[in-house]
Amino acid sequence: MWKEEKSCVVANSTITSKFEDRPPSTYSMKIRSFSQLNTLFPDDRYKSRSFSSGKYNWRLVLYTKGNKADKGSGFISMYVELDTSSLTASTVLAYLTFFIYNKKENKYFTIQDAEGKQFNAIRPVWGFSQVLPLDTFNDPEKGYVFEGDQCEFGVDVLVPLANWEVVSFDQQPSNPKFSWTLNKFSKLKETTYQEVFNRKKELGGKVVSQGFNRLQILISLSKS
């Protein structure tokens, strides 16, 4: 049975951590050799390739031995960095969830903050300095480092859409029905007949739009 891992979660805060079945939906990064990554990046910081979310470009920033400048010593630290050259507004609101795959449980350890983060040119980086203790992550029995020296990280960056509309009606339309009378139906000679109805949009006799509703009815007659 899996259990909750220790992280930076503080009681009564907006930060939560848990295991989830689903993988990241925004970006995933699988590292073939974690020890080689530490060797190639002596400052213990690795930035992923750029990815997009909400019309903006981002990078996942991973501190493999913790971000000491942010009180992350002894932990895996994970952040998201906004590419400020892709900014189309002064501030971007984003909700973040970070993922670390656990091969043993076949689940993802996740940590997120229910409060959105404001990204801008002055503060382009947000994340967690204490995601998972290094002694837990590096322990082969825990399942975070698997198949020799592999591991997997990910992030969801949710940027709320700004598309919306307001729909409001004071009352029901006064007469929404239309009628069409075909005289001498049995003597009709054409095979196709149509009628177009035009009616102003009215609510309670008050014109609320200068446009017209257009309704077209087409009837085709055939011999049985």
Architecture of the CATH domain 15-158: Sandwich (2.60)
- In this predicted model, what pLDDT tens digit does every residue of 96-105 receive, in sequence order? 999 999 999 9
Nearest CA to 49 among 96, 19, 81?
81
Look at phi and psi of residue 137 and say left if phi exceeds 0, alpha if psi is from -120 to 50, else beta: alpha
Q: Compute the distance between CA of residue 52 and CA of residue 129 in angstroms, rounded to an integer.
A: 23
Is-contact 54 112, C-beta < 8 A?
A: no
Termini Cα distance of the chain:
71
Is-contact 31 151, C-beta < 8 A?
A: yes
pLDDT at 25 over 80: yes
- 185: pLDDT confidence band, cut at 50, 70 and 90? low
**The pLDDT value given to residue 216:** 53
Q: Which of the two residues, 215 and 96, has the higher pLDDT score?
A: 96
Question: 108-142 burial string, b = 16+ CB within 10 Å, else e?
Answer: bbbbbbeeebebeeeebebbbbbbbbeebbbeeeb
- In this predicted model, what pLDDT tens digit does every residue of 162-182 receive, in sequence order? 677 777 766 665 666 666 676
Reading the block at residue 179, the tokens are 């009628």
**The pLDDT value given to residue 5:** 53
Q: Which of the two residues, 131 and 160, has the higher pLDDT score?
A: 131
- In this predicted model, what pLDDT tens digit does every residue of 46-76 receive, in sequence order? 999 999 998 899 999 999 999 999 999 999 9
Is-contact 128 79, C-beta < 8 A?
A: yes
DSSP state at residue 24: P
Is-contact 80 62, C-beta < 8 A?
A: no
**The pLDDT value given to residue 207:** 43
Domain ranges (residues) in the chain: 15-158, 170-224
pLDDT at 196 over 60: no
- 129: pLDDT confidence band, cut at 50, 70 and 90? very high
* Mean pLDDT score of the chain: 81
Q: How far is CA 59 from CA 53, 79, 126, in A?
A: 10, 8, 11
**The pLDDT value given to residue 134:** 95
The residues facing 37 across adjacent strands are none
Q: Compute the distance between CA of residue 24 and CA of residue 157 in angstroms, rounded to an integer.
A: 9
Which range among 35-49, 113-127, 131-145 shows the weakest confidence by mean pLDDT?
35-49
Q: What is the mean pLDDT of residues 200-208?
A: 45
Q: Compute the distance between CA of residue 195 and CA of residue 180 in angstroms, rounded to an integer.
A: 8
Q: Which of the two residues, 77 and 173, has the higher pLDDT score?
A: 77
pTM: 0.69
Q: Which of the two residues, 106 and 161, has the higher pLDDT score?
A: 106
